[in-house]
Amino acid sequence: MVKAHAPGAGPGPWHLGVIGGSGLAAGIGLEDAQEIAVESPFGDPSGPVVTGRLGPVRVTFLARHGAGHAIPPNGVNYRANIDALKRCGVTDVIALSAIGSLRQDFAPGSFVCADQFIDRTAGRAASFFAPGLVAHVSLADPTCPRLSALVIAAARAAGASVHEAGTYVAIEGPQFSTRAESRLYRQWGGDVIGMTAMPEARLAREAELPYALLGMVTDYDGWRDDEPAAEASAIMQVMHDNVALARAAMAELARALPQARPPVAIDRALDGAIVTAPALRDKVLAAKLQAVAGRVL
């Protein structure tokens, strides 16, 4: 594994972690690619990572749903995935995923760089921390503005139509929404809908990894009465049509990154977040958290 640059230690190299969703299991075309199985104390990740380069930038890719899309959204081990990327030394995480639109002007085929989330998932492990070692990180702004801006510019350079912000409603799945639910989420101020951003974004923040989400709009969910509701086959077709554009966006991002990566505040998200007294911390849990929180433990 590549050793991580110490957060807050001044400018260092970039190492992008890319989590690919539906349609991107084949990866993003890395050079000098090497497949590595990474063990996590939080269980099995979705599969091995593929690490290599996009131009001068180290990139590690992980297929969220595993080979052949065998893992449903509510079956993904999000903790193991983020822990595995942290163990690989990534500095920033970009999530690529399919999303449904809750707005007329967010048309299928366009991209949205989500910046807020409404979490409607249930039963997923949403934190690395637990009784015996308690921490509270800030999630008011759950994505990284710097990374998101870089991703937006790269996607546009690749020829994509990109909306710069949007509120993502994360549902449990694996079923799509009812029409009543879809209309309700629009009333709440949701712009797009998906099944995987939570707890992924929460866990990335606990792991002190800046996170950006580039969603590919595949459908209008179920709120429009004048057209069929979302169907998996149609969604996958739109996704496959946009895979080349997503890969091109990642290549543009690698070309555009500054040579050195200055620190950001998220690199130190755990400063002051752990509230359990040192003498009372669960030693077994602390050992599991060495990759995620070793800097402050």
The mean pLDDT value of the chain amounts to: 92
Give how far the C-alpha of residue 138 lies from the chain's centroid of Cα atoms, to the nearest Å: 17
Q: Is residue 92 among the annotated active site residues?
A: no
Alpha-carbon span 193 to 186, nearest angstrom: 10
pLDDT digits (tens, 9 = 90+) for 176-233: 999 999 999 999 999 999 999 999 999 999 999 999 999 999 999 988 877 766 666 6
Exactly one of 219, 225, 241, 282 is catalytic; which is it?
Answer: 219
Exactly one of 83, 92, 221, 267 is catalytic; which is it?
Answer: 221
Tokens 């003498």 belong to which residue?
279
Q: Is residue 105 among the annotated active site residues?
A: no
Fold that domain 15-73+80-293 belongs to in CATH: Rossmann fold (3.40.50)
* pLDDT of 259 higher than 70: yes
| 46 neighbors 64 (Cβ within 8 angstroms) | yes
**What pTM did the predictor assign?**
0.93
| 112 neighbors 215 (Cβ within 8 angstroms) | yes
